[in-house]
Amino acid sequence: MDIVRHPMTLSQLPTMKWGQVIGLPTAQLTFRRLAAYGILPGVMVRVERRVPTLIIQVGAMRIALDRQVAEGIKVQLTNH
């Protein structure tokens, strides 16, 4: 049976769970910065740590994000 997966923000993604990026902020500067890090729709990301800042894994990279930026990134929980 498939699990119904509801979209959430990256800041809501449970720690150590994988999510697929399904939406990004529309602010051009933020979008370009995230794209430069490889954070684009379809990419798998994982929250590794929340305090003192949000640390996410994208491929082999680990990136620190402000919580405000993470709240603008939409993800969907996956079974990765």
Q: Is the pLDDT of residue 4 over 60?
A: no
> C-alpha angle 43/49/76, rounded to 5°?
35
Q: What is the pTM of this model?
A: 0.89
Q: Is the pLDDT of residue 6 over 50?
A: yes
ω before 52 within 30° of 0 (cis)? yes
pLDDT band for position 72 (cuts 50, 70, 90) = very high
Size of the chain in residues: 80
d(CA 37, CA 52): 21
Domains detected in the chain: 8-77 (2.30.30.90)
Tell me the average pLDDT of the chain. 92
d(CA 80, CA 62): 17
pLDDT band for position 38 (cuts 50, 70, 90) = very high
d(CA 25, CA 7): 14
Q: What is the dihedral of CA 26, 42, 70, 56, to 10 degrees?
A: -150
